[in-house]
Amino acid sequence: MFPRLVYESFRRQTRRKLLAGVAITLGVAVATAMIAVATDIGDKINHELRTYGANLVVTPQEDTLDVEIGGVNLKPPSDGAFLNEQDLPKIRGTFWHHNIVGYSPMLPVTANLGDHAADPVTVLGTYFSKPVHFGKDDVVTGVRITHPWWKVRGTWPDDDSPDVLAGEHFAAKLGLKPGSQIRLHGKPHRVVGILSTGSAEDDQIVAPLAVAQEVLGKPGAVRRVYVSALTKPQDAFAVRDPNTMNPQDRDRWYCSPYVQSIAFQIEEVIPHSHAEQIRQVAQNEGTVLSRIQGLMLLVTLAALFASALAVSAAMATAIFERRAEVGLMRALGAGSLSVAALFFAEALLLALLGGVVGFAGGSLLAHQIGRSIFNSQISIEPVLFPIILAIAVCVTFAGSAAAIRRAVRLDPVFALRGEA
Amino acid sequence: MSTSPVMQTPQQVADRRSGGPHTSMFLRMLVRAAVLRRGRAAAALFAMVVAAAVATAMMNLYVDVQAKLRTEFRNYGANVVVVAKDGQNLPADALTRIESALGPKALAVPFSYAVARTQDGKSVVVAGTDFARARQLNHWWNVSHWPNAPEDALIGMRAAAVVSPNRQPFDLTFQEHTIHLTPVGLLQTGAGEDSRIYLDQSAFQNWTGLTPSTIEIAVTGSTLEIEQGIEQLTQVLPTADVRPVRQILEGEANVLNKTRATLYAAAALIVLTAALCVLATLIGWVFDRRRDFAS
């Protein structure tokens, strides 16, 4: 009899059930989408923060002081120590290699321009977008990834070609355009693009690393490497010295993607190197990230609250409409318990149905938000499904409870006469 | 038979009779409905109030959060740099001009640079600045102790290893002029600053005779406001190059746009849900009283 009552209730009151069902579905969809976005926003914003550029710099351990004012290096170019270009792919061999978005080696050298006998110019050798092979990994790295604010008018040079970029101030001074020819140390080079960075590179020539190494006469030499890594905001544990930790703490520190532990791991794989965080980028990341995460948490709570309210309101309405039915059941001798059980069973069915459809809808919504705002997937944890379903059932029950209690308490006489 | 104490024209009486009972009956229905169905009315009111509050809070948050985040982004430091054009000096009153042009929304910090020699002949870059301002602008500078006396120097980590490995006082020479400095604080940034020695601007100027060549400015505001600021600066400082720091500007614009878009989507969803809640309540409210409308 009980299943039949529930079945008939759904069959005969399709419209009303649909109304409550739609409310639950929408509520669950909004909640799912918001929870998915909020749990993933940290990762997404972390990726976006990489537009600020590298957060780690690797230099030779025994380097001499930089003597640099306004981007002009006054140190003799062959002075000081170098890193070996061959060691760089090992960065991809560190524990947190999946968190390393990219790296760019830099080698500033000074060169004389053949036909412009004027001042020597700084030639900055680097990777633009170079395929690098390490173990089973094939990745592309260079300034186009680590320095996304560098803009080129014309085309980017190929890393294996002798083509170069001219900084915009430098190009304006010499009247260079994409396609112009210049001579560096007696060899002709084609300027394929004009580079605008808003900093020192605007007065320099930026060339593939091999070109700068040739000018310097030191194949394989790299002055410093900028590494862009996804990191976890720094906390008190992050700044501790790993050498003073006990083995468990050290493992935990080593296996957390703090900027400090990534620097430590880079030093391990690149011989005679010193890796350090670029504080301007690394320190602020944490603050911005935690602010945005806090904000999204707040918004998610508001969304959950609003959906819970909407579901409760819809359920209360749906039950209130059926007072006459309750009166009839009571008049026929049904106890409060069986009446309440009927309503709760209906609510459970509605919540489960609405929960499943809402979860699917919410996942789609989260997916759309991820696609349109961040150009990437928002991953939805499967563990979220039972949680969302449980929340949907709880909220539906809570929303129905007050209405059911009042419906059951009604005097059947008044209820049947519609006077309640 | 009672007479009206105040004489009324027939028109006034007609008005009173047509309007009076009608209005009071309407009010009565409203009041009785609210009083007799207290629970229902309170529930509906509660739902409306909460929905409206949530929707308002979201809209406020959406508007407010951009300003809040912009302030947060200023921790990244200067987004505009003023440098002297080749072969020219910045005017002596450059800082005052910048401040009067941009007002309180900007923080400007002067820097002057020179290459000095240590006693054993090594070159090191020395910079003069206003420490109070630099401290405000560059939050990420990790400084063990900020200098306050004129001969106190703030030395970068890498410079310290060269000029004063044991934190002992040292001498620097610039064009035959020697200055005696005490390293009071260590500076760590992970960038070029680590190789420099920072002095107070007046001490630096007394020693080298050089005036500031670079002014770093943090302008708070939208992209448009910053562009306007740059334009204003170009006008008040014709002998200088005013450059936006693209790394900072573009990073900020990118993160802010993404956050704003996410927040916008979230706010839209929440307002929609709140509207749904009001709708469900009102439908219930009306359904409940179908008989009263004799439908």
Q: Which of A208, A180, A184 is nearest to A194 (CA)?
A: A180
Distance from the Cα of B96 to chain A's closest Cα (Å) equals 23
- Whether A366 has a pLDDT exceeding 50, the answer reads yes
Give per-residue pLDDT as tens, B261-286: 888 888 888 888 888 777 877 777 77
Please say whether the beta carbons of B147 and B131 come within 8 A. yes
Across the interface, whether the CB atoms of A67 and B142 are under 8 A apart is answered no
| pLDDT score recorded for residue A147 | 94
> Residue B273 is nearest to which of A30, A44, A48, comparing CB atoms?
A30
Distance from the Cα of A376 to chain B's closest Cα (Å) equals 12
> Residue A279 is nearest to which of B57, B140, B258, comparing CB atoms?
B140
Please say whether the beta carbons of A165 and A126 come within 8 A. no
Give per-residue pLDDT as tens, A286-295: 888 888 888 8
Across the interface, whether the CB atoms of B270 and A299 are under 8 A apart is answered yes
pTM for this entry: 0.82
Give per-residue pLDDT as tens, B91-124: 888 999 999 999 888 999 999 999 999 988 888 9
| pLDDT score recorded for residue B174 | 92
Alpha-carbon dihedral A247, A253, A255, A257, rounded to 10 degrees:
-170
Minimal-distance CA residue of chain A relative to B156: A65
| pLDDT score recorded for residue A313 | 78
Question: Which of A51, A309, A406 to mutate against chain B (most B CBs within 10 Å)?
Answer: A309
| pLDDT score recorded for residue A19 | 78
Burial code (b: 16+ CB inside 10 Å, e: under 16) for A114-139 equals eeeeeeebbbbbbbbebebeeeeeeb
Question: Which of A37, A121, A284 to mutate against chain B (most B CBs within 10 Å)?
Answer: A284
Within 8 A by CB and 6+ apart from B221, the residues are B70, B105, B229
Structure tokens at B243: 């450059």
- Whether A402 has a pLDDT exceeding 90, the answer reads no
Average pLDDT of span A405-413:
80
Give per-residue pLDDT as tens, B198-227: 999 999 999 999 999 999 999 988 888 899
Q: Is pLDDT larger for residue B52 or for residue A251?
A: A251
DSSP, collapsed to helix, strand or coil, labels residue A376 as: coil
- Whether A335 has a pLDDT exceeding 90, the answer reads no
| pLDDT score recorded for residue A265 | 93
| pLDDT score recorded for residue A419 | 59
Q: Is pLDDT larger for residue A338 or for residue B38?
A: A338
DSSP, collapsed to helix, strand or coil, labels residue B57 as: helix
Give per-residue pLDDT as tens, A236-269: 888 888 888 899 999 999 988 999 999 999 999 9
Query: Any idea how long chain A is?
Result: 420
Share above pLDDT 90 across residues of chain A, in percent, rounded to a whole number: 36
| pLDDT score recorded for residue B291 | 67
The mean pLDDT value of chain B amounts to 85
Structure tokens at B236: 């008040």
Across the interface, whether the CB atoms of B159 and A65 are under 8 A apart is answered yes
Backbone torsions φ then ψ of A158, nearest 5 degrees:
-80, 140
Across the interface, whether the CB atoms of B47 and A303 are under 8 A apart is answered no
Rounded Cα distance, A286 and A233, in Å: 4
For residue A291, list chain B residues with Cβ-Cβ distance below 8 A: 68-69, 72
Rounded Cα distance, B147 and B125, in Å: 18
Give per-residue pLDDT as tens, A155-189: 999 999 999 999 999 999 889 999 999 988 888 99
Q: Which of A28, A314, A299 is nearest to B54 (CA)?
A: A299
Share above pLDDT 70 across residues of chain A, in percent, rounded to a whole number: 97
Burial class (CB in 10 A: 0-12, 13-18, 19+), B115: middle
Average pLDDT of span B116-133:
91
Of A200-204, A378-382, B288-292, least confident by mean pLDDT is: B288-292
Other CB atoms within a 10 A radius of the CB of residue B104 amount to: 7
Please say whether the beta carbons of A110 and A73 come within 8 A. yes
For residue B280, list chain A residues with Cβ-Cβ distance below 8 A: 19, 23, 310, 313-314, 317
Of A121-135, B188-202, B260-274, least confident by mean pLDDT is: B260-274
Give per-residue pLDDT as tens, A285-326: 888 888 888 888 888 888 888 888 887 877 777 777 777 788
Average pLDDT of span A56-70:
84
| pLDDT score recorded for residue A117 | 55
Across the interface, whether the CB atoms of A33 and B269 are under 8 A apart is answered yes
> Residue A74 is nearest to which of B115, B188, B261, comparing CB atoms?
B115
| pLDDT score recorded for residue B2 | 46
Within 8 A by CB and 6+ apart from A385, the residues are A359
Across the interface, whether the CB atoms of B47 and A313 are under 8 A apart is answered yes
Minimal-distance CA residue of chain B relative to A27: B273
Question: Which of B269, B270, B283, B295 to mutate against chain A (most A CBs within 10 Å)?
Answer: B269
| pLDDT score recorded for residue B1 | 44
Across the interface, whether the CB atoms of A198 and B189 are under 8 A apart is answered no
Rounded Cα distance, A253 and A259, in Å: 11
- Cα distances from A83 to residues A61, A104, B74, B143, B190, in angstroms, run 9, 13, 34, 28, 17
Across the interface, whether the CB atoms of B274 and A310 are under 8 A apart is answered yes
A-B Cβ pairs (cutoff 8 Å, strict): 207
For residue B192, list chain A residues with Cβ-Cβ distance below 8 A: 66, 68
For residue B124, list chain A residues with Cβ-Cβ distance below 8 A: 65, 67
The owner of tokens 């006990």 is A246
Please say whether the beta carbons of A182 and A113 come within 8 A. yes
Average pLDDT of span B10-32:
72
For residue B139, list chain A residues with Cβ-Cβ distance below 8 A: 283-284
Query: Crossing angle, helix B94-102 and helix B223-236, to 10 degrees?
Result: 140
Distance from the Cα of B273 to chain A's closest Cα (Å) equals 6
| pLDDT score recorded for residue A230 | 92
Across the interface, whether the CB atoms of A299 and B265 are under 8 A apart is answered no
